[in-house]
Amino acid sequence: MDSNFRREIIVDNASNPFHKEKKDKDFITANTHNESCIDNIDLYVKVQDDKIVDAYFDGEACAITTSATSIMLKNIIGKSLDEARSIMKEYYKMLNEEEYKEDMLGELNAYSNISKQPSRLKCARLPFETLEKTFHIYETEK
């Protein structure tokens, strides 16, 4: 991906995010609460039989976090928790500049050189860290 294309994906998702809508009933909710930045996003995930059947988010955050959340949701809806976690694993590998499976990440590849800006790395990680929180809630309540 060249840098213009990467930027275009991020800006598109930040300005017109996918599934940005407040939800409450029937969704597992987790917040991005984080010591080091002011991003504040609620993630709403609906899981049935270990499968993510629907997911939304709402709140205020920087362009990186907002866009990464939007893209993450597009990628995980309809997937099993295991499949979502495999995506997460590849994504973290990419952020850490390790070998990773590019074809598993789709638009998430837009963040492939974010490690050049260490202060933005945590913004890029935030959506998945929050997703993991919702999985944890699901698994402990199951």
Partner 1 sequence: MNREDFLMFENNPDLIYFDNGATTFKPKRVIDKINDYYTKYTANAHRGDYDISLKVDKEYEETREVVQGFINSESPNEIVFTKGTTDSLNMIIFGFMRYYLKSGDEVLITKAEHASNVLPWFELEKELGIVVKFIPLTEEYKVTLDNIKKVVTEKTKVISLAHVTNVIGDIRPIKEISKYAHDNNMLMVLDGAQSVPHIKTDVKDLDVDFLAFSGHKMLGPTGIGVLYGKLKYLEVMHPLEFGGGMNSRFESTKELEYKELPLRLEAGTQNIEGVLGLKEAILYLEEIGLDKIHEHEAGLREYLIKRLEEVDNVEVYNPKSESGLVIFNLEGIFAEDTSRYLNHYNICVRAGNHCTKMVKDEIKVKNTCRISLYLYNTKEEIDKLIEVLKESKNIYNIIL
Region 66-85 residues binding partner 1, contact defined as CB under 8 A: 66
Q: Does 64 bind partner 1 (CB under 8 A)?
A: yes
Cβ-proximal residues to 84 (8 Å cutoff; 6+ apart), any chain = 52, 75, 76, 131, 135
> What is the footprint of partner 1 within residues 21-40 (CB under 8 A)?
37-40
Q: In this chain, which stretch among 42-50, 63-71, 78-86, 131-139 interacts with partner 1, using CB under 8 A? A: 63-71
Helices (H) and strands (E) in the chain, counts: 4, 3
From residue 26, how far is each of 42, 96, 132 by CA, in Å?
14, 35, 18
50 vs 60 by CB, closer to partner 1: 60
Of 34 and 134, nearer to partner 1 (C-beta) is 34
Partner residues linked to 3 by β-bridges: none
Nearest 5°: the CA angle 54, 55, 56 is: 140
Task: Between 47 and 124, name the residue whose CB sits nearer to partner 1.
Answer: 124
CB 37 within 8 A of CB 62: yes
Among positions 62, 104, 121, 137, the unique one binding partner 1 when judged by CB under 8 A: 62
Q: Which of 1, 19, 51, 63 is close enough to bind partner 1 by CB under 8 A?
A: 63
**Does residue 1 bind partner 1 (CB under 8 A)?**
no
CA distances from 128 to 3, 25, 100, 108, 139 (A): 23, 22, 17, 12, 16
Interface stretch with partner 1, choices 9-17, 87-95, 101-109, 125-133 (CB under 8 A): 9-17
Which residues lie near partner 1 (CB under 8 A)? 6-7, 10-11, 15, 37-40, 60-64, 66, 119
